Chains A and B, each alone.
Chain A
Amino acid sequence: MSDRPAPPVADDDEGKTMKRRDLIRTAAFAAAAPLAAPSIARAQANRVLKFVPQANLSSMDAVAGTQYVVRNAALMVWDTLYGVNAKLEPQPQMCEGHEVSADLKTWTFKLRPGLKFHDGGAVTTRDVVASLERWMVRDTMGQIIKGRLDALEALDDRTFRFRLNKPFAKMLFALGKNNAPVALIMPERIAKTDPYKLISEYVGSGPMRFRTDEWVPGSKAVFEKFADYSVRPEAGEWLAGGKRMMFDRIEWLIPSDAATAGAALQNGEVDWWETPLPDLVPLLKRNRNINVDIADPLGNIGSLRFNHLQPPFNDVRARRAVLMALSQQDYMQAVVGDNPDLWKESASYFTPGTAVYSDAGGEVLKGKRDIEGAKKLLAEAGLLGAKVTLVVAMDVAITKAEGEVTADLLKKIGFDVDFIATDWGTVGARRAKKDPPSQGGWNIFHTWHAGADCVNPAPYTALDCGGDKAWFGWPKSDAVQQGILNWYDAPDLEAEKRAIAALNRASFENATYGPTGFFLMYQAWRNNVSGVVKAPFPVFWGVQKA
């Protein structure tokens, strides 16, 4: 006799053995399971977004560093007190609201109730104060606040206050701006880190938590939905409103090769590519499964950066001569190609299409380019044939293109060009040297500035003309510095516009740097992804995958 149980088929033994109809139902379910599996797998796949960022996420501190890719990741993990919308108007985010004194010297803020960090701790004003103190050391606007600060104090767990000795009208913009360093709120213990050292614990209160255990720098970064995130009731718009995450996981996949990223998007292995190479855009546009559109409506401004400390560009006539001959069309076609939708000439240091844009004083960049006039000016200054050390990062497509156009331009107007082809890491180190080019210094390097950083002087470090303390190239101009202060103190939009017009004029008179044109970049995503918006950073909230 077998000790195995009897076959479970008896109809009359309810409760102990399986009925025939149960068996049939089970068998049918088992047979159907493989058919159901793909839809379950699909549903799970729909909760995961695979995203290719603009660059490798090499660190995760958007206060100590200003890399855009780090800022973009940080905006998911950490929240801000205020956040700008698409009109760059700051809206309450972690804050419930604020009160400000009539003299704009006392700003009192109240946090929303129920805010939590990813480690489960409540967000309190002690965290806010410590975070803002760290941020104020590194951020230009923060430094101005710090310079006017009598006290930043936590009144209770949800209320904190700035007491200033001078009015500061742009407090909300400073707390809600998207430009790095962003005023991110982190736990007090982390915010106490030296502002010049990278944090090593990535705990925020934003809609996604960072999975440090899954981080493979240079290859993959994973963000997981934070279940306790307190979503605002309003619709989400840029950094303002409700940040509703439709994904359980967002995986940043970092192929080091643009062609591989393009192929992966075409093959459906990734869902969204932040900055496709312009050369690959026509190919992607031909693919019916892929959408291609402008990524950031605020675009970018190309930059030919002079070293104001070293000859020949310590002479303003040499800088002006370059601007007289500089053709933005040449630069833009080299950078983004022939598509006229992607670039425009702009005789301004500010972002076209924004509220305070001005091209006052930008005549030197308009009309027919004056090679002969530039030569004549250089001859007057005794600089014809002067040696110019042009340091070009050849591993970055934009700077490579700009550098090659500049080399040609400089030769045409009579300079002797020493073209140093190198990588961005070397440019980053070399541009910090104030020594003569013969001792490891430089005369010109190229970069570009995000249009979002050029909407006003606050985040615009490249415009600063504070001499030794200014950005690389160390330009000095009292008129420019006064223009920046005038903008900070402007009480309304009209006053801001006047300040910006004067500032633009002063910048061109000083030839602070050479704006090589305004250009846009594309982003590309699969058709099954919806909710992708145009913004200066990838906005993940509201994006879904079918």
Chain B
Amino acid sequence: MWAYAIRRIIATIPVMAIVALFVFSLLYLAPGDPAAIIAGDQATPADVERIRASLGLDRPFLIRFGEWLWNVLNGDLGVSIFTNLPVAHMIKQRIEPTLSLMVLTLTFAISFAVPMGVVAAWKQGKWVDRLVMVVAVMGFSVPVFVVGYVLAYTFALQLDWFPVQGYTPIASGIGPWINNLALPAVALGSAFIALLARITRATMLEVLSQDYVRTAKAKGVDQKSILFVHGLKNAAVPIVTIIGLGFAGLIGGAVVTESVFAIPGVGRLVVDAILRRDYPVIQGVVLMFSFVYVIVNLCVDLLYTVFDPRIRY
């Protein structure tokens, strides 16, 4: 398994290289000009041109790409065109809120969605099953930002239970940390809960119709063991796959959620960078996200062996 993991990690190198080339090319071809934004509305076209030259944006594509790639290979993601701050520093500033949001969202979503899916499968066709499906459809149908606004209005503005916006680092205490992230995690988790509950239900239905489950029932194994020991463990592989795939969805959703709740995360960083064409920041963040995504997929693959001993690498 370790050899497999190492091979997979090595395989990320060409993937990252392709991502790097793709992102750089895309930004080169996309309209927009950071020099014009730095110069501001009062600047003359000549001023903008001079700023562009001072930033080196007037140089040929291959030279710029080669220079950037060389720096990346040397562990240097460059500096922001606007703030002159190192991109790695800017990502480091923002990574904790984003990771916190994702961890809390995943914890919240998994702890609600999996039991919901299991119960819905167990009570197939009953009112509980229908209720879970209604919740799932609603979770899919209502956009994350709408859920966010409704939660903020209700629980922050009206009831004053949570703050409207912002982030408190975990170092300041678990309580304030959760207090700040509770609404964003629920908002971001709503669609994921729906997806995960449906997948769990469908997989559990398939597992519960297997012969070994019938045998277990015939042997008098109690319902709880059938569901959570025999059933859920065998249904885990597709569920873990969806959790891994959902991670990518959460990255996208985090961009919206971080904006609605003013969380200083990586999602907002990349949106702001795109709006002002801060190329080094965009490239750095996309590279980081693609690396994280590859690693998450690797973890998912390795987890298969835990849930299904028949799988070997």
Contact = CB atoms under 8 A, between A and B. Distances in A.
Interface string B254-287: 0000011110100011011001111000000000
Interface string A458-478: 010100000001111010000
B54 A196 contact: yes
A422 B39 contact: no
Nearest to A426: B31
Nearest to B269: A218
A430 B84 CA distance: 25
A423 B37 CA distance: 12
B206 interface: no
Nearest to A139: B42
Interface stretch (A87-95, A238-246, A256-264, A513-521): A256-264
A441 interface: no
Contacts of B163: 267, 269
B272 A58 contact: yes
Contacts of A256: 259, 262, 268, 271-272
Contacts of A37: none
Interface stretch (A60-68, A354-362, A483-491, A524-532): A60-68
A198 B51 CA distance: 9
A432 B83 contact: no
Contact of B54 (A194, A217, A449): A194
A59 B38 contact: yes
A395 B274 CA distance: 13
A447 B43 CA distance: 13
Contacts of A472: 45
B238 interface: no
Q: Which of A219, A254, A267 has the most chain B CB atoms inside 10 A of its CB?
A: A219
A309 to B, nearest CB: 11
Nearest to B278: A58
A472 B262 CA distance: 35
B264 A220 contact: yes
Contact of A66 (B41, B53, B261): B41
A470 B156 CA distance: 50
Contacts of B48: 432
A433 to B, nearest CB: 9
Q: What bracket does the count of chain B residues touching chain A fall in?
A: 35 or more
Contact of A58 (B44, B83, B166): B83
A271 interface: no
Contacts of A219: 262, 264, 268
B46 A469 contact: yes
A253 interface: yes
B262 A255 contact: yes
B308 interface: no
A99 to B, nearest CB: 32
Given A217-B83, A256-B271, A66 B39 contact: yes
B268 A425 contact: no
Contacts of B82: 58-59, 198, 217
B80 to A, nearest CB: 7
A275 interface: no
Interface in B39-76: 39-51, 53-54
Q: Which of B84, B90, B164, B268 has the most chain A CB atoms inside 10 A of its CB?
A: B164
Given A58-B83, A217-B90, A218-B264, A459 B272 contact: no
Nearest to B31: A426
Interface in B120-156: 149, 152-153, 156
Interface residues of A, number: 59
A402 to B, nearest CB: 14
B157 interface: yes
Contacts of A59: 38, 82-83
A194 B50 CA distance: 10
A415 to B, nearest CB: 24
Contacts of B53: 196
B291 to A, nearest CB: 22
B275 A395 contact: yes
B94 A216 contact: yes
Interface in B1-56: 31-33, 36-51, 53-54
B165 interface: yes
A64 B259 contact: no
A453 B44 CA distance: 15
A260 B262 contact: yes
Contact of A428 (B36, B50, B84, B94): B36
Given A217-B85, A253-B166, A66 B40 contact: yes
Interface string A208-234: 000000011111100000000000000
A266 B33 CA distance: 36
Contacts of B269: 217-218
Interface string A65-80: 1111010000000000
B93 interface: yes
Contact of B42 (A66, A200, A269): A66
Nearest to A256: B259
Given A67-B40, A256-B259, A266 B51 contact: no
Nearest to A470: B44
Contact of B44 (A215, A254, A461): A461
B144 to A, nearest CB: 13
B146 to A, nearest CB: 11
B54 A429 contact: no
Nearest to A428: B36
Given A264-B262, A269-B163, A430 B40 contact: no
Interface of A: 56, 58-60, 64-68, 70, 138, 179-180, 194, 196-200, 215-220, 253-257, 259-261, 263-264, 266-267, 269, 395, 422-426, 428-432, 447, 449, 453, 459, 461, 469-472, 474
Given A255-B259, A255-B262, 6 more contacts: A179-B42, A218-B272, A269-B165, A422-B31, A425-B36, A461-B43
28 contacts: A59-B82, A64-B38, A67-B40, A67-B41, A180-B42, A197-B54, A198-B84, A217-B80, A218-B269, A220-B264, A255-B259, A255-B262, A256-B268, A256-B272, A260-B164, A264-B262, A267-B160, A269-B163, A269-B165, A423-B275, A424-B275, A425-B37, A428-B33, A428-B36, A429-B32, A461-B42, A470-B44, A471-B45
Interface of B: 31-33, 36-51, 53-54, 80, 82-85, 90, 93-94, 149, 152-153, 156-157, 160, 163-166, 259-262, 264, 268-269, 271-272, 275-278
